[in-house]
Amino acid sequence: MTEDRLPSRAEDFSEWYNQVVLRAELADYAPVRGCMVVRPYGWALWENIQAALDKRFKATGHVNAGFPMFIPKSFFEKEKEHVEGFSPELAVVTIGGGEELEEPLAIRPTSETIIGHMYAKWVKSYRDLPILINLWNSVVRWEKRTKLFLRTTEFYWQEGHTAHATAAEAEEETRRMLDIYTDFAVNEAAIPVIPGEKSESEKFAGAVITYAIEAMMGDCKALQSATSHYLGQNFAKAFNIQYLDVQNNQQFAWTTSWGLSTRMIGAIIMVHGDDTGLILPPHLAPIQAVIVPIWKKEEEKTAVCEKAGQIADELQKTLRIKVDLREGVTPGFKFNDWEMRGVPLRIEIGPRDLAASSVTLSRRDRPGREGKTTAAWEGLAQTCQRTLEEIQQSLLERATQFRKDHTSDPTTYEEFRTAVEKGFALSWWCGGSACETKIKEDTKATTRCIPFEQPGGTGRCIVCGMEASKKAYFGKAY
């Protein structure tokens, strides 16, 4: 492999991923180990993800707020499971202003504890409920093994935190938010996710139930793409979130939390990318179409660039457009550059196109001549919009078929062990931790989720052979 050539996904998927992130200028390594700098192109993608989610959150009554990144370390000791789950990942500040602090401060790994403290101050009556707050922030978890976007010491995300008067309301909220994540993943990111419940060992520290959406990456590994947690009264009791109900009785509130992070960018890269680089879903792409003017002679340049500008003025009314007017590089270089960056649609215009009152459209999801068509200037905006929607749907269908092709339903444990080396296994599971542990020890695969969609009836646990009422997805994961 030459230094300039992007490694193929087949030969080294991990290095392919690293190189795509760097070469497409999505992110770079920060000087602090495990941290990343999100570059403007990557941040523009994150902004589009934020916008799509924020719209959905606000449509369901949620509001945004800001909470501090410093949390008294003692807060993490109030909820037993929570402190056990997060203690190994805590970054703690002990000195401030040159003096040792009276109490160490944790840099937030998640905000349930500070939220619980504040909700206890704000909630007095059933009239104060529900509280539906979302945060857009960054958090710090001291990870030992890091990878850009997928697992970094500091990462960006949204975290929702709600408090309710009844268990039923809180459970409904938990599922509602998972449905929102599912809708976003499928319809915006073009990623066919599997919504379901996490096993007891895989649930969030301090949760009663954790739900998640799981996706299959291009190397057949799983990625947990978002989570939604029903916290019951665990945090309400730990932080004394109480209210007077209609009968004037004191009650503990019921709470939830849920989140999606910049890990979703990693998912988009690994699900849709190819050996040439990124392929971004049009709904989220920072640039949906790039216009590349082509000329050989200087006298051709003015007319070609003028028309390119006119087309851009028209298209940018409805699309995110870029005109590539760089000089000193060939059209071929520009083509490769925009393909690396995953721009869904390329619009080429040269002297021949001027003469024919047309442009050449090149789809990123279809390499070479297969993706090229000629389009007239008249109605070009509608043609581009239609083509972008076709690309969006094509990416979803392709990813869905890929997951289907790499998901097995083994009938024996030996078949199961082979299946999780090649993708997902959807198997009957008794729910026992011993069987779950054996699978992890034998194969390094984990329980990804117990999907909501079940075949019905019963079967035999793929490990122990005992009767099982549900199937679960198993696979190796990031």
Every domain of the chain and the residues it spans: 13-272, 289-385, 409-475
Report the pLDDT averaged over residues 454-464. Answer: 97
Write down the pLDDT at residue 143. Answer: 87
pLDDT band of residue 1 (cuts 50, 70, 90) is very low
H or E element that contains 229: strand 222-232
For 225-244, what is each residue's pLDDT tens digit? 999 999 999 999 999 999 99
Contact 258, 213 (CB under 8 A): no
Contact 134, 158 (CB under 8 A): yes
- What are the angstrom distances between the C-alpha of 233 and each of 74, 172, 178, 237? 19, 15, 20, 6
Write down the pLDDT at residue 2. Answer: 41
H or E element that contains 405: helix 380-405
Residue indicated by tokens 């009556």: 125
Of 34-38, 87-91, 329-333, 344-348, where does mean pLDDT reach its minimum? 87-91
- The DSSP secondary structure of 36-92, one letter per residue, reads EEEPHHHHHHHHHHHHHHHHHHHHTT-EEE---SEEEGGGGGSSHHHHHHHGGG-EE
pLDDT band of residue 90 (cuts 50, 70, 90) is very high
pLDDT band of residue 83 (cuts 50, 70, 90) is low
For 101-145, what is each residue's pLDDT tens digit? 999 999 999 999 999 999 999 999 999 999 999 999 999 999 888
Q: 397 Cβ partners below 8 Å, 6+ apart?
A: none
What fold characterizes domain 409-475? Translation Initiation Factor IF3 (3.30.110)
For 323-363, what is each residue's pLDDT tens digit? 999 999 999 999 999 999 999 999 999 999 999 999 999 99
Rounded distance between C-alpha atoms, residue 132 and residue 255, angstroms? 10
Report the pLDDT averaged over residues 159-188. Answer: 98
Rounded distance between C-alpha atoms, residue 360 and residue 348, angstroms? 5
Report the pLDDT averaged over residues 138-167. Answer: 96
Give the number of residues written for the chain.
478
Contact 268, 280 (CB under 8 A): yes
For 374-405, what is each residue's pLDDT tens digit? 999 999 999 999 999 999 999 999 999 999 99
Write down the pLDDT at residue 3. Answer: 53
| CATH class assigned to 13-272 | alpha beta
Report the pLDDT averaged over residues 252-276. Answer: 98
Q: 472 Cβ partners below 8 Å, 6+ apart?
A: 196, 199, 426, 427, 429, 447, 448, 449, 450, 451
Would the pLDDT of 15 be above 90?
yes
309 vs 1, residue with greater confidence:
309
Q: 141 Cβ partners below 8 Å, 6+ apart?
A: 86, 89, 91, 109, 153, 155
For 410-429, what is each residue's pLDDT tens digit? 999 999 999 999 999 999 99
- What are the angstrom distances between the C-alpha of 121 and each of 117, 235, 380? 7, 14, 57
Give 289-385's CATH code, choosing from 3.40.50.800, 3.40.630.30, 3.10.270.10, 3.40.50.300: 3.40.50.800
